[in-house]
Structure 1
Amino acid sequence: MNTPFLFISGQEIFVVLLFVIMFFGADKIPEIARGLGKGMRQIKDATNDIKNEINESAKNNTVTTDVTKSLNENVTEVKDAIDEITGPIKRNM
């Protein structure tokens, strides 16, 4: 499957990078990338903390995870069915 990155071609990425360099300057790009990386890391850590708290609270309150497992299986089945339907549509675009 040959899907472009975020539906953007290589030429479009090059033009965007060119504008970023012209707007911010080459010396600011590492600073911006560092800031974006730190922000993404904080978001990932926060979501992991929330997941851990939910799982720990479920264990402490003796909540069974069987319901969540079956729910996840149902969601996966629906997602797969949607992917089967939309697959030919995506390939034709």
Structure 2
Amino acid sequence: MFGNLGAGEIIIIVLVILIFFGPKKIPEIAQGIGKGMREFKKAMRDVEDGLKNNDSQSTAATPQKTLEPKSEGVKIPEVMQQQTKAPEENKQI
């Protein structure tokens, strides 16, 4: 958590903070940091929930394409039949 800091360095840092801010101000600072962290975590959760809801809504709103069984008597539309005829049959005068 503190990288390469040992126990001695951490104790010195805590003592400097105690001398600099004083014993009365440290609890107030800790409370402010705690509130800030709670608000940040709550905002992160709200964003994640919003993204999950958007993903689930878009997935639910998109209908899945179902495949129907192929029928044996496939009918070709008239337009397709005209295109498959020989070129001399397609000529219109």
State the TM-score, normalized to the length of structure 1. 0.60
Task: Tell me what 1:56 maps to.
Answer: 53
Counterpart in 2 of 1:17? 14
Which has the larger helix fraction? 1
Q: SS of the counterpart of 1:43?
A: helix
Separation in 1, partners of 2:45, 2:4: 29
- 1:1-93 equivalences in 2 (<5 Å): 5-62=2-59
Q: What are the ranges of 5 or more consecutive residues in structure 1 without an aligned counterpart?
A: 64-93
1:11-48 deviations in whole A, cap 9, x for unaligned? 11101111101110011111000000111111111111
Matching residue's letter, 2:29: I
Take 2:3 and 2:35, find their aligned partners in 1: how far apart are those partners?
22
| Amino acid aligned to 1:36 | I
The percentage of aligned residue pairs carrying the same residue is: 38
* RMSD (Å) for aligned C-alpha atoms: 1.5
> C-alpha separation between the residues in 2 aligned to 1:24 and 1:9?
23
Q: Give the TM-score of the pair, scaled to structure 2.
A: 0.60
Count of aligned residue pairs for this structure pair: 60
Amino acid at match of 1:42: E
d(CA) in 1 for partners of 2:4, 2:22: 26
Instruction: Indicate the residue corresponding to 1:90 in structure 2.
Output: none
Q: What whole-Å deviation, never above 9, does each CA across 1:58-86 have from its counterpart, x for those lacking one? A: 001117xxxxxxxxxxxxxxxxxxxxxxx
